Amino acid sequence: MFAVLLKDLRIYTNTRRYLIIHFTVLCCLVLCFFLSTLVFYAQGIEKQSSGMFFDVGKRVYSVFTVCLYITQLLIPKHAIESVNLERHFSSSKYSADKKSDTAALLALTPISFWKMILGKITAVVVWWFLGAFLTIPLFTLSLIMGGLSVSLMMKSGFILIVNGIFVALVGIMAALRYHPKRAASISYGIILTLNILPLIPIAPIDRFPLLDMLSPLHALLTVLSSG
């Protein structure tokens, strides 16, 4: 498992495309944070002039947390690419894996199917959290401008961890069964259905509370709206 984890993380950190994606996502998150701060701060001034309470910090960090959640849509894509790369590992003469000492060790080491799956899920989720951890300085600003409480941050973080594991598992399982393009269509179809369908206030969809329980996005919005 650890050999798979190290191999995949080395691929992510040494591949220019993955680094560019990581940097672009981080820039978009920072831009979203400051734009939402400006918008809600302007709304807060208008509301407070009317004598109404307006929690700028909580609204900013709620939007920012949802944006973090949206970036997890990249996880199934990376998971599918990881499985596809593993399929071509033995046949690709110029594979980047073959340049890796960890990959060479992995090729000579017997490993069970489930350990390989667990290693790939862990690698793609850890890779996402490496980028998410870079946004921690933005969350520390909540000590100044106000925002989410520590309990809400912990609950939101737990939902992000569970959802990251879930979407990685969906992407990997789809990639093991189907061609990469079809696997992407199926995995994103499942993920978007579970997330968006419970938010539609149309009968008979809103009569099934089980859909709300299965939706990580619904759980995240419920946590952010509480407190």
Name which of 78-82, 168-172, 194-198 the model is least confident about: 194-198
What are the sequence ranges of the domains in the chain?
A: 2-225
Tens digit of pLDDT for each residue in 138-167?
877 766 766 777 788 888 989 999 999 999
> Could you tell me where the beta strands, DSSP code E, fall in 73-135?
none
∠ Cα 57 41 60 (to 5°): 35
Looking at every residue in the chain, the average pLDDT score rounds to: 80
Return the CA Rg of the chain.
Answer: 20
Confidence category of residue 94, pLDDT binned at 50, 70, 90:
very low
Position 189 scores a pLDDT of 93
Tell me what the mean pLDDT of segment 201-210 comes to.
63
C-alpha distances (whole Å) from 74 to each of 46, 123, 206 are 37, 13, 28
Main-chain phi, psi angles of 98, to 5 degrees: -70, -15
Main-chain phi, psi angles of 109, to 5 degrees: -105, 120
Tell me what the mean pLDDT of segment 210-214 comes to.
68
- C-alpha count within 13 angstroms, C-beta hemisphere, residue 59: 15
